[in-house]
Amino acid sequence: MRVAALYDIHGNLPALEAVVAEVREADVDRVIVGGDVVPGPMPREALMLLRQLNVPVQFILGNGEVAVIAEMAGSIPTVPEQYRGVIRWNAEQLAPEGASWFGGWPKTLRVHIPEIGDVLFCHATPRNENEIFLRTTAEERLRPVFAGVGAAFVVCGHTHMQFDRMVSSIRVVNAGSVGMPFGEAGADWLLLGPDVELHHTEYDLADAAARVRATKYPQAADFAENNVLRPPSEVRMMELLARAELK
């Protein structure tokens, strides 16, 4: 059994198209979408592409979907003020179907992959979709986070940087980000079964940036420049995110 894990797409349709092409070549049996399909510049198109795949696709909620759902419900999303316009615009793009786009998505998902065993998929940590931890986070701080998960293998995302590490006896793999990777430009994803393979997919960045700029996304120019063409470095993001570890 082969399972592709696609995380943190963030409405980057060109990146998703490139990854989907490789997923099809890999002849996977299932796709797990690990949250944060939205927000981003092409949210509806990204969701439609995922829903039209010819293999079973399962979704879990990320903090991005939770914020958009709150906006759709007329609540104030718990996001910094500078992102409120992005969340509002994404909610508008997904109307009139509204929250039905995300209806029934759980926050965690458990899948048995014969060659690997029981795998728990979560967006950030098994506890919630917002917590931040890194490949460098001290193991003693992470033991309570992963205690009682009932699986020897956990897949997460959220921090947009791939890693493969142990927390006690649990192997924890971050699938990275399809649409907004930190580090090398491109698209990151994970293939499970029979081995564990962290993938990096290259695609036409200049064309993708032009397509993003052509949208009405409120931060289109910034997304094209700083998330597609020249993503922030891992070193810089590790420094920034370390300040928010497990808070």
How far is Cα 77 from Cα 81, in angstroms, rounded to an integer?
A: 9
Contact 107, 67 (CB under 8 A): no
Which pLDDT score is estimated for 80?
77
H or E segment and range at residue 223? helix 220-223
How far is Cα 51 from Cα 185, in angstroms, rounded to an integer?
A: 26
List the one residue out of 216, 229, 178 whose CA is nearest residue 44: 216
Per-residue pLDDT reduced to its tens digit, 72-88: 988 877 777 788 899 99
Domains and CATH numbers, the chain: 3-242 (3.60.21.10)
| pLDDT tier for residue 4 given thresholds of 50, 70 and 90 | very high
How far is Cα 226 from Cα 231, in angstroms, rounded to an integer?
A: 5
pLDDT greater than 80 at residue 244: yes
In this structure, how many other beta carbons lie within 10 angstroms of the beta carbon of residue 219? 18
pLDDT greater than 90 at residue 33: yes
Kindly report the pTM of this predicted structure. 0.97
At 77, list the tokens: 């999303």
pLDDT greater than 90 at residue 247: no
Contacts 24+ apart (CB under 8 A), 218-223: 218/85, 218/86, 218/89, 219/85, 219/86, 220/41, 223/12, 223/40, 223/41
Per-residue pLDDT reduced to its tens digit, 178-211: 999 999 999 999 999 999 999 999 999 999 999 9
Phi/psi of residue 13, nearest 5 degrees: -60, -45
* Percent share of the chain, pLDDT over 70: 100
Which pLDDT score is estimated for 224?
98
At residue 70, the 3 state secondary structure works out as helix
Question: What's the N-to-C CA distance of the chain in angstroms?
Answer: 36
